[in-house]
Amino acid sequence: MIADTAATVLTDGQRKLSQTVREFADEVVAPAAYQYDTERRLPMEIIAQMGELGLFGLPFPREVGGQDQDYVSLCLAVEALARVDQSIAVTLEAGVGLGIMPIYRHGTPEQKERWLPDLVAGRALAAFGLTEAGAGSDAGATQTRARLERGAAGDEWVIDGTKQFITNSGTPITSVITITAVTGERVGSDGAVRPELSSILVPAGTPGLTVGEPYDKVGWHTSDTHPLTLDGVRVPASNLLGERGRGYANFLRVLDEGRIAFAALATGAAQGCLEEALRYAHERTVFGHPIGSNQHVAFTLARMQARVHAARLCWLDAALKLTHGKPFKAEASVAKLTAGEAAMANARDASQIFGGYGFLNANPVARHYRDSKILEVGEGTTEVQLMIIARDLGLAS
């Protein structure tokens, strides 16, 4: 358990939080996971209970309705949920890191007053519309455009473009989507002309904003993910989030933080696979002996435990650096790389230990096997993490 691994760094409150969310995951989320995975539907009643537990407000101060905790606490909650259901965990991770955090960090007092109370209470969800068909890792290739025009009630942003793979963008309680768009051009210090990327808040239901049909995904069936089309979307000029032209820099900070929570999610998935496989190794007998007495199975489980331990220490290190105001970009990439690979490897090994039962969707390890692949892609691919780490080592890439 996480309290055992991190006994020297977690506070009593953080250990209690981890245990509370773990119990919620076991008693509420896990029994419903297969049903909602099959139905491919985000269970709003479970999201509401997460809101009542204060999970969406964990890293935010009480003055905005939050729980006055820190990023480590958020990651603990994400990991505890991911043990039993990655879709529910990523709903929290994206809702906070991609949805709320940009508004909290860069919003005006008026924007915070409008959006934060419902978001930090879990009564509403927000999304972050960055990725496009040709602009994911290369956000500088963004094609969505926003221009200022005079409207009946004053200056308005008029937005045209498309977005892909946007989490929490089409739920019944989605209230706002932060859209990145090119708002002009700027000349850099080297004389090169580059697109000016800005962030703009688009309320759900705005005319011209179309939320496409949900994707038919390999995994994360319960997570809400849609493409978006913006066709002449008009919002007030005051919906600019942060400084004009700072959208690229602001989203980099969001992604760096998000990679730590993503690593915690992957660690939870790896932990869940370990727990299920260990239980089965004790229960399943072959030729009169539990399969766990077979050295190969025992060594496989030992490797799974080693991966979990390493992944957890990586995200804890990055999260603690973040909370103490120290540089953490490279550590976040190390954590995401290590934990993502641990989740995928543990899901494979757990499925193998279960044999034929590991190929049944009702089995949690089968769902983890499908779900875990995205952990090597989302929030920056494995290759992007390697590039960031290599640059930190002073190597060109």
Topology, domain 126-243: Butyryl-CoA Dehydrogenase, subunit A; domain 2 (2.40.110)
For residue 23, indicate whether it is catalytic.
no
Is it the case that residue 187 has pLDDT exceeding 80?
no
Report the distance separating Cα 150 and Cα 181, nearest Å: 19
Judge if 126-243 and 249-392 fold alike in CATH terms.
no
Asked if residue 280 lies in contact with residue 354, where contact means CB atoms within 8 angstroms, the answer is: yes
pLDDT digits (tens, 9 = 90+) for 283-327: 999 999 999 999 999 999 999 999 999 999 999 999 999 999 999
pLDDT > 70 fraction of the chain, expressed in percent and rounded: 98
Catalytic residue among 213, 331, 379, 383: 379
- Average of per-residue pLDDT values in the chain: 94
Q: φ and ψ at 133, to 5 degrees?
A: -55, -35
- Compute CA distances 333 → 11, 87, 247, 255, 314, whole Å: 25, 22, 21, 10, 9
pLDDT digits (tens, 9 = 90+) for 344-393: 999 999 999 999 999 999 999 999 999 999 999 998 899 999 999 999 99
For the domain covering 249-392, report its CATH number: 1.20.140.10
DSSP label at residue 27: I
Domain 2-124 belongs in CATH node 1.10.540.10: yes
Q: Is the pLDDT of residue 3 over 60?
A: no
Enumerate the domain spans of the chain. Answer: 2-124, 126-243, 249-392
